[in-house]
Amino acid sequence: MIRRFLIIFIILGFGVLYGCGDETTTETETTTETPACETNNTAQVYFINDSTTGTTYDIIWDGVKITTVSPGNESEKFTVAAGVEHNLIFKITNTNDEACNPSTPILPQCETWWYNCTG
């Protein structure tokens, strides 16, 4: 009878020890969100007025006046489509005169570029 209890005790003890393994698993969920500029295929652009004559410029981007920049200043940043050709014109404010030669920039995705005009 003692032998039977001893065998049961050993079997139960083994079962308890076997069941006491390390069950705490740490699952680290790594979620990396795709940047909006990749999802939307965009870039940022801003403009600097380096006028040597104190002239204020209107910035014409793809045919639309998006901002006016006074001498020695820079504009806010604009989010624009990346990888496509744009039309950029610096015009002297309140005129149809171009301050610098027009350009057709293509901005790389997720980058920030600036353009300036010294007029």
Identity of residue 90: F
Residue-range definition of the domain harbouring residue 70: 37-117
pLDDT at 48: 98
Identity of residue 119: G
Quick one: average pLDDT of 2-30? 51
Q: pLDDT of 32-71, one tens digit each? A: 899 999 999 999 999 999 999 999 999 999 999 999 999 9
Task: Find the angle CA(54)-CA(59)-CA(62) to the nearest 5 degrees.
Answer: 160
Q: Per the domain annotation, does 80 fall within a domain?
A: yes
Residue in 59, 105, 116 with CA at minimum distance from that of residue 82? 105
- C-alpha to C-alpha distance for 78 and 49, rounded to whole angstroms: 16
Split at pLDDT 50, 70, 90, the class of 31 is confident
Q: Per the domain annotation, does 59 fall within a domain?
A: yes
Number of domains in the chain: 1
Q: What is the mean pLDDT of the chain?
A: 85
Domain CATH code at residue 76: 2.60.40.780
Give the three-class secondary structure for 19.
Answer: helix
Residues in contact with 48: Cβ distance below 8 Å, sequence separation at least 6, in sequence order: 69, 73, 74, 75, 114, 115, 116, 117
Q: Per the domain annotation, does 18 fall within a domain?
A: no
Give the three-class secondary structure for 5.
Answer: helix
pTM comes to 0.72
Q: Per the domain annotation, does 86 fall within a domain?
A: yes
- C-alpha to C-alpha distance for 62 and 83, rounded to whole angstroms: 14
Q: Is the pLDDT of residue 9 over 60?
A: no
